C-alpha cells in the first residue's frame, strides 16, 4: 500500500473498506469501488462475451487524487468480479493520474486510450492489454499526441472517443475554445500511435442560454461519446433504416471552470470530418448525478451506457464515510419517437429481483402506505393513467409513514419525518395543452441539512396521460425512468426509513404496480487492490 500523501487522506487506508462496508447508505446492487473514490466509467465494453467495466479509482481515500483505473468483469452486467487495477500512474506523461479513456479492439489486441495527467495537463496515452485484459503495458510512444492543437486557446483537453472507420482509426478529444464553447477535436490514425489532427468536429456556443440552466453547454466538453443510434455504424452514408439527420448522437458532459455541470447530447449527423447538430437534449434530469457517461455497442448490438452518480453530501462527510461515487446500472439507449433517446435499465437487472408483489388496477387516493412493499433496495414498476391536471406521488425511503397523521413514533421522531418523493404530473398549461413532467422532491429526504436537496425535474411525453414509471432505490442511489426519460440522483436518509407511499391529487389510475426487493451483488468486503 502507498503512503498517505494527500491532506484529505485522514482515514487510514486499512480502515477504508471497513468504514465503507459499515455505511448503511452505501448501495448494495449498484457497482461501487471496494472503498475509496470512484468516478467516471472507463473502457466499457464486451470482449469474448465478458463485460468489462473500468473506472476512475482512488484507493487512497474518498477524494479525487492520483487516479488509477479500477477494473471489474461480469458475465451479465449486474454481477461483478473485481480484477487487478488496470492502470496506475508511473513516471512520464501519466505521473499524476490515469484519467478517463476507452477500450478498443486493435485487430484482436485489447487497447486502452486514456488521458495521462502530468502536473495540470492531460495528454492522450495508449496501453496494450494481455488477451484476458488483466494486465496492461503502456506504449513507449506515450503521449501519442504530444500537445493540444497549436494556436488554439483551449479551456482544457482530455477524454477520448475512438472508433474504426474503414481502414483508419478516428479519435475525438474533449476540449473547449476560450470565448466560444465546448468542442471535440477530431484526429485520424492508422495505428493508434501517430495521429493527424483534422480539426474541431463541431464547436458549441457557451454564450447561448443561461449559464445556470440545466441545458447550458458549458465551456468545456468532458467525456465526449459519439455513436450511431440504432442500426448502422458511424460513417455509414446509407444507414440501414434508422439513419437520417438525427442518427448520430454526440454525448458530452458540460464542464465549466472545475464545475461538473450535467450530461447533454446532440442529435445530428456526422459525415466526413464534421458534425451537423440538429437538437440539444438533456441526457438525465438528475444533471451532475449522472455525469461523465460512456457507452458501447455490446455483442447483441445494444447501446449500453454507464454514468457516474456523484455524491450529494459534504466532502468532509464523504471522506469520513470511506467511500465515494456509485456507478449507474447499465442502461440501454434506443432512438425515441422525436429523434431523442429513450433509456431503460438493461433487462439483466431483473436477475436481482426477489419477492414479487403486484397490485392494481385501482384509483390512487389521497395517501396510502403500499402494503406488502417496503425496503431500501427496491425495483418498482408502475403503469399509470393521469387525467389532465392530476399529480401522482410516489414516496420512498420513508420513515414513520405508518402514522401518516403526524403522530410521533415511540422514539419521538415525527411521522413521515423523512421521505423522498417522486412526482409526476399531467399539467394543463395555458391554451389547454398538457405539459407533463417528472420531478424529484428531496426537501424531506434527510434530516441532515448539509446534504444536497435541490429539486430535479424535466418534461416527459405522456400520450393519453399514460406513464410507465420505473424506480430503482438502492439506499442512497435512485434511478427513475419516466416514459424513457431518466432522472438519477442521491438521497441520504438518516432514519433508515423503508416505507413506500402512493398519493394523488386529481384522478390517477394505477393500472398495475410490480415491486421487488433487490439482491445485493457483493456479499463480502472487497480488497482495495484485488
Ligand atoms: N473525470 C476524469 C477526467 C474527466 C472527468 C478525471 C469527468 O478525465 O474529464 O478523473 O468527470
Q: Domain-by-domain residue ranges, the chain? A: 13-347, 353-518
Distance 343 CA to ligand 1 centre (A): 23
Rounded-to-integer distance, Cα 86 and Cα 71, Å: 6
Q: Residue 211: how many CA atoms within 13 Å on its side-chain side?
A: 11
* pLDDT reported for residue 230: 83
- Tally Cβ neighbours within 10 Å of residue 419: 26
Q: Which CATH class is domain 353-518?
A: mainly beta
Expressed in angstroms and rounded, the spacing between residue 149 Cα and the centre of ligand 1 is 20
Q: What pLDDT is recorded for position 229?
A: 92
Residue 58 Cβ < 6 Å to ligand 1: no
Q: Is 418 in the pocket of ligand 1 (CB under 6 A)?
A: no
Cell, residue 31 = 457497482
100 lines ligand 1 (CB under 6 A): yes
Strand 121-129 relative to strand 136-138, pairing: antiparallel
CA atoms of 475 and 462, how far apart (whole Å): 29
Atom of ligand 1 nearest to the CA of 40: 11
- 145-167 pLDDT, tens digit per residue, is 999 999 999 999 999 999 999 99
Asked if residues 366 and 405 have their Cβ atoms less than 8 Å apart, the reply is no
Question: Closest ligand 1 atom to the C-alpha of 156?
Answer: 9
Give the tens place of pLDDT for each residue, 413-459: 566 689 999 999 997 766 666 689 999 999 999 999 999 999 999 99
According to DSSP, the residues that pair with 439 across neighbouring strands are 423, 457
Task: State residue 446's pLDDT score.
Answer: 96
The model scores a pTM over 0.75: yes
Q: Is 13-347 a domain of CATH 3.40.50.880?
A: no
Ligand 1 atom closest to residue 260's alpha carbon, by position in its atom list: 11
Q: Is 37 in the pocket of ligand 1 (CB under 6 A)?
A: no
How far is residue 419's CA from residue 445's CA, in Å, rounded to a whole number?
5
pLDDT at 435: 82
159 in ligand 1 pocket by Cβ < 6 Å? yes
Q: Which atom of ligand 1 is the closest one to the Cα of 159?
A: 8
Supply the residue whose CA is at minimum distance from atom 6 of ligand 1. 99
d(C-alpha 357, C-alpha 515), whole Å: 5
> Would the CB of 222 count as within 6 Å of ligand 1?
yes
The Å distance, Cα 41 to ligand 1 centre, comes to 10
Q: How much helix, strand and coil, in percent to the nearest 5, is found in the chain?
A: 5, 50, 40
Q: Which of 122, 223, 290 to mutate to test the pocket of ligand 1 (most atoms within 8 A of CB)?
A: 223
Averaged pLDDT score across all residues of the chain: 94
CA 99 / ligand 1 centre spacing (Å): 6
Length of the chain: 530
67 CB less than 6 Å from ligand 1? Answer: yes
What is the pLDDT at residue 401? 47
Q: What is the pLDDT of residue 241?
A: 46
Q: How does pLDDT run along the chain (530 residues), one tens digit per residue? A: 445 578 999 999 889 999 999 999 999 999 999 999 999 999 999 999 999 999 999 999 999 999 999 999 999 999 999 999 999 999 899 999 999 999 999 999 999 999 999 999 999 999 999 999 999 999 999 999 999 999 999 999 999 999 999 999 999 999 999 999 999 999 999 999 999 999 999 999 999 999 999 999 999 999 999 999 988 889 887 654 445 778 899 999 999 999 999 999 999 999 999 999 999 999 999 999 999 999 999 999 999 999 999 999 999 999 999 999 999 999 999 998 778 999 999 999 999 999 999 999 999 998 899 999 999 999 999 999 999 999 999 999 999 644 555 555 555 556 668 999 999 999 776 666 668 999 999 999 999 999 999 999 999 999 999 999 999 999 999 999 999 999 999 999 999 999 999 999 999 999 999 999 999 999 999 999 99
User: From ligand 1's centre to the CA of 57, what distance in Å?
Assistant: 11
Nearest CA residue ID for atom 7, ligand 1? 292
Q: Which of 161, 292, 309, 328 to mutate to test the pocket of ligand 1 (most atoms within 8 A of CB)?
A: 292
pLDDT at 430: 65
Asked whether 309 lines ligand 1 (CB < 6 A), one says no
Q: Tell me, what DSSP letter sits at residue 319? A: H
How far does the centroid of ligand 1 lie from the alpha carbon of residue 253, in Å?
A: 10
Between the CA of 40 and the centroid of ligand 1 the distance, in Å, is 6
Q: How far is CA 125 from the centre of its chain?
A: 24
For residue 220, give the nearest of 203, 235, 232 by alpha carbon: 203
Q: Which of 56, 64, 123, 157 to mutate to test the pocket of ligand 1 (most atoms within 8 A of CB)?
A: 56
CA 115 to chain centre: 20
Q: 44 CA to middle of ligand 1, Å?
A: 15
Amino acid at each position: 500500500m502507498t503512503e498517505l500523501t494527500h491532506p484529505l487522506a485522514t482515514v487510514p487506508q486499512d480502515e477504508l473498506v471497513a468504514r465503507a462496508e459499515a455505511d448503511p447508505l452505501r448501495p448494495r446492487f449498484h457497482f461501487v469501488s471496494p472503498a475509496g473514490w470512484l468516478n467516471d466509467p472507463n473502457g466499457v465494453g464486451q470482449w469474448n462475451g465478458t463485460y468489462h467495466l473500468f473506472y476512475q479509482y482512488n484507493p487512497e481515500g474518498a477524494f479525487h487524487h492520483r487516479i488509477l483505473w479500477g477494473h471489474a468483469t461480469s458475465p451479465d452486467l449486474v454481477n461483478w468480479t473485481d480484477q487487478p487495477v488496470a492502470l496506475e500512474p508511473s513516471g512520464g506523461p501519466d505521473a499524476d493520474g490515469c484519467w478517463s479513456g476507452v477500450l478498443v479492439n486493435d485487430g484482436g489486441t485489447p487497447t486502452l486510450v486514456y488521458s495521462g495527467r502530468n502536473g495540470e495537463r492531460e495528454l492522450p496515452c495508449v496501453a496494450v492489454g494481455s488477451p484476458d485484459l488483466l494486465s496492461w503495458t503502456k506504449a513507449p510512444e506515450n503521449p501519442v499526441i504530444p500537445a493540444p492543437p497549436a494556436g488554439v486557446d483551449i479551456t482544457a483537453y482530455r477524454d477520448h472517443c475512438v472508433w474504426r472507420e474503414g481502414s483508419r482509426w478516428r479519435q475525438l478529444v474533449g476540449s473547449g475554445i476560450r470565448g466560444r464553447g465546448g468542442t471535440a477535436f477530431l484526429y485520424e490514425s492508422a495505428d493508434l500511435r501517430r495521429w493527424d489532427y483534422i480539426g474541431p468536429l463541431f464547436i458549441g456556443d457557451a454564450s447561448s442560454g443561461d449559464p445556470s440552466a440545466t441545458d447550458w453547454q458549458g465551456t468545456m466538453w468532458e467525456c465526449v461519446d459519439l455513436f450511431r443510434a440504432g442500426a448502422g455504424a458511424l460513417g455509414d452514408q446509407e444507414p440501414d433504416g434508422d439513419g437520417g439527420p438525427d442518427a448520430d448522437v454526440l454525448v458530452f458532459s458540460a464542464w465549466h471552470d472545475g464545475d461538473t455541470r450535467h450530461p447533454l447530447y446532440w442529435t445530428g449527423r456526422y459525415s466526413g470530418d464534421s458534425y451537423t447538430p440538429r437538437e440539444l437534449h438533456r441526457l438525465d434530469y438528475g444533471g451532475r448525478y449522472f455525469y461523465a457517461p460512456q457507452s458501447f455497442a455490446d455483442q447483441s448490438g445494444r447501446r449500453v451506457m454507464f454514468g457516474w452518480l456523484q455524491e450529494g453530501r459534504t466532502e468532509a462527510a464523504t471522506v469520513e464515510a470511506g467511500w465515494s461515487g456509485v456507478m449507474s446500472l447499465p442502461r440501454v439507449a434506443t432512438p425515441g419517437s422525436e429523434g431523442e433517446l429513450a433509456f431503460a435499465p438493461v433487462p439483466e437487472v431483473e436477475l436481482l429481483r426477489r419477492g414479487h408483489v403486484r397490485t392494481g388496477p385501482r384509483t390512487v387516493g389521497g395517501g396510502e402506505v403500499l402494503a406488502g412493499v417496503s425496503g431500501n433496495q427496491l425495483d418498482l414498476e408502475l403503469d399509470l393513467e393521469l387525467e389532465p391536471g392530476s399529480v401522482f406521488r410516489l414516496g420512498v425511503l420513508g420513515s414513520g409513514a405508518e402514522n401518516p397523521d403526524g403522530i410521533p413514533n415511540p422514539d419521538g421522531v415525527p411521522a413521515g419525518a423523512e421521505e423522498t418523493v417522486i412526482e409526476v404530473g399531467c399539467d394543463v398549461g395555458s391554451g389547454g395543452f398538457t405539459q407533463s413532467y417528472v420531478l424529484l422532491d428531496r426537501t424531506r429526504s434527510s434530516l441532515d441539512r448539509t446534504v444536497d436537496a435541490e429539486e430535479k425535474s424535466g418534461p416527459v411525453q405522456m400520450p393519453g396521460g399514460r406513464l410507465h414509471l420505473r424506480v430503482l432505490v438502492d439506499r442512497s442511489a435512485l434511478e427513475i425512468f419516466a416514459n424513457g426519460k431518466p432522472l438519477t440522483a442521491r438521497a441520504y436518509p438518516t432514519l433508515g426509513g423503508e416505507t413506500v407511499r402512493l398519493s394523488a391529487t386529481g384522478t390517477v389510475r394505477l393500472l398495475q404496480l410490480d415491486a421487488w426487493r433487490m439482491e445485493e451483488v457483493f456479499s463480502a468486503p472487497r480488497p482495495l487492490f484485488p
